[in-house]
Amino acid sequence: MNTPTLWLIRHGETDWSISGQHTGRTDIPLTENGREQARALKSRLAGQAFDQVLCSPLQRARETCELSGFGAQAQMEPDLMEWDYGVYEGRTSAEILKAEPDWSLWTSEVEGGENAKQVRERVGRLLDRLLAQQGTIALFAHGHILRSLISMWMSNDVRLGENILLDTASVSVLGFQRKVRVLHKLNT
């Protein structure tokens, strides 16, 4: 059975990742520290050949991909864009919970944005395409969409992503062991 191995690379630090603001479709750049994190990925990924490199079109992911040395190989993939947080864009979880104590991105409706069911459909569509391929594929993207992808890989339920955290400029690896989908590395 020929199957893909997926390397999930979260973008480097941004001003909003520092402040904890939900950064969905707002196209903000990396901080200087985020650029250093992205450059450091170059040595961490040295020697790893990718058959394909897919990247979110948002600049924080593109810049991370470029600074880590894979920009020339990258193809933009709209399904890797971060969740659309709608009315929650730019707000912290603490601010949202103050107004809506039972709120959770993973279970609540998102006015003007995407809910978990819609993200599940989007990530499922992407996974179907990826599973039809072979080789090693790098995916440069964002925290919540990568958490969603990991949870869909593991359980076919996007809501498991609530129990996963990914640091900025982290690397996680999904693959197979005896035809079973497994998580090889998380948040390294």
Catalogue the active-site residues. Answer: 11, 82
Q: Is 64 annotated as a binding residue?
A: no
What is the chain's length? 188
Euclidean distance between the first and the last CA atom of the chain, given in angstroms as a whole number: 27
| Among 136, 180, 186, 140, CA closest to 160 | 186
Is 23 annotated among the ligand-binding residues?
yes
Q: What is the three-state SS of 123-171? A: HHHHHHHHHCCCEEEEEEECHHHHHHHHHHHHHCCHHHHHHCCCCCCCE
24 is in an annotated binding site: yes
Binding residues for substrate: 23-24, 60
* Binding region: 23-24, 60
